[in-house]
């Protein structure tokens, strides 16, 4: 069977060719997955509905994004221009993670080719994150009784502060973030489990630390996992402060996915951050998530 992977052409928004965020990676990743025969076809998501978004975000914030009436400071905090294609991208990418979570329930494992917008909180966006797709999808599953104890494994180099804030009083969602201590956001929030990593950490220490905490998490009874597989931990990333190699990222992805897949816990993989100085390398690194998942289906 082929790995279920979600993609939509609208994942690539028009933010300007000189923008710091590598928006074209979403389209190029889709091409790469097809060219490398990792997948043959994609599942296409719909734009996320207002009702579904409203479980993780306030009515006012959703309307301000949809109507493009967000104030300038709030737009600046997000880092994207608030144009039609960014609004559409945010709705469709969030719908993509909801769809991928449903596919993971059906097939045991599934991935989006976007997602992991973990800095967005209930009242606003930040750090290139408009809507928090994982938080939205987690609420979607809980509301329908499709999951009861969800784990968010966030291995992006930046703390998943949006998820920890949204779920701080929710006993049905456990937030685990392993991130750079000195990186964005400057003021960290409190996850259920935060592991702060020192600058310039290399593969062996990183994998050893991850293995230890995965073993700790195995003592809990989770029935669904979201995995935010940010590749900004790479040594050549513009916004990372760690020194993880290609092989280290591959090992990390395999470790996480095999850990939960072997226990028959459904897992939904999303991209997370990646700002590599080498664009082609960035696409290749993001594809390691899908390659690791494809081996197990």
Could you list the active site residues? 119
Question: Count of H helices and E strands in the chain?
Answer: 10, 7
Q: List, as one string, the DSSP characters of 9-41.
A: GGGS----TT-SS-TTHHHHHHHHHHHTTS-S-
DSSP designation for 55: T
DSSP designation for 126: B
Surface-to-core class of residue 225, CB atoms within 10 Å of its CB (0-12 exposed, 13-18 middle, 19+ buried): buried
Tell me the CA distances in angstroms from 237 to 122, 157, 190, 214, 226, one per residue in order.
29, 10, 25, 25, 23
Contact in structure between 182 and 201 (CB atoms under 8 Å): no
């Amino acid at each position: 069977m082929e790995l279920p992977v979600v993609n939509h052409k609208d994942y690539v928004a028009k933010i300007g060719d000189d923008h710091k965020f590598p928006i074209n990676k979403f389209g190029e990743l889709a091409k790469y997955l097809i060219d490398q025969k990792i997948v043959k076809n994609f599942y296409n998501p719909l734009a996320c509905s207002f009702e579904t978004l409203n479980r993780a975000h306030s009515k006012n914030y959703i309307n301000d994004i949809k109507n493009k009436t967000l104030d300038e400071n709030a737009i600046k905090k997000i880092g994207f221009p608030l144009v039609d294609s960014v609004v559409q991208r945010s709705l469709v990418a969030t719908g993509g993670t909801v769809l991928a979570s449903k596919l993971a329930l059906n097939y045991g494992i599934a991935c989006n080719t976007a997602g992991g917008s973990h800095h967005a909180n209930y009242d606003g966006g930040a750090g290139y994150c408009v809507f928090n797709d994982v938080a939205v999808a987690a609420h979607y599953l809980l509301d329908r009784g499709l999951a009861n104890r969800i784990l968010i494994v966030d291995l992006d180099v930046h703390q998943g502060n949006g998820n920890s804030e949204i779920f701080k009083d929710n006993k049905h969602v456990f937030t685990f973030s392993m991130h750079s201590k000195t990186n964005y956001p400057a003021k960290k929030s409190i996850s259920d489990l935060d592991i702060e990593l020192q600058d310039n950490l290399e593969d062996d220490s990183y994998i050893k630390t991850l293995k230890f905490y995965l073993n700790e998490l195995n003592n809990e009874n989770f029935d669904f996992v979201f995995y935010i597989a940010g590749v900004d931990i790479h040594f050549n990333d513009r916004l990372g402060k760690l020194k993880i190699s290609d092989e280290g990222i591959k090992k990390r992805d395999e470790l996480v996915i095999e850990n939960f897949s072997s226990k028959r816990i459904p897992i939904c993989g999303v991209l997370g951050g990646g700002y590599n100085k080498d664009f082609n390398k960035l696409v290749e690194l993001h594809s390691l998530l899908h390659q690791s998942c494809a081996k197990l289906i």
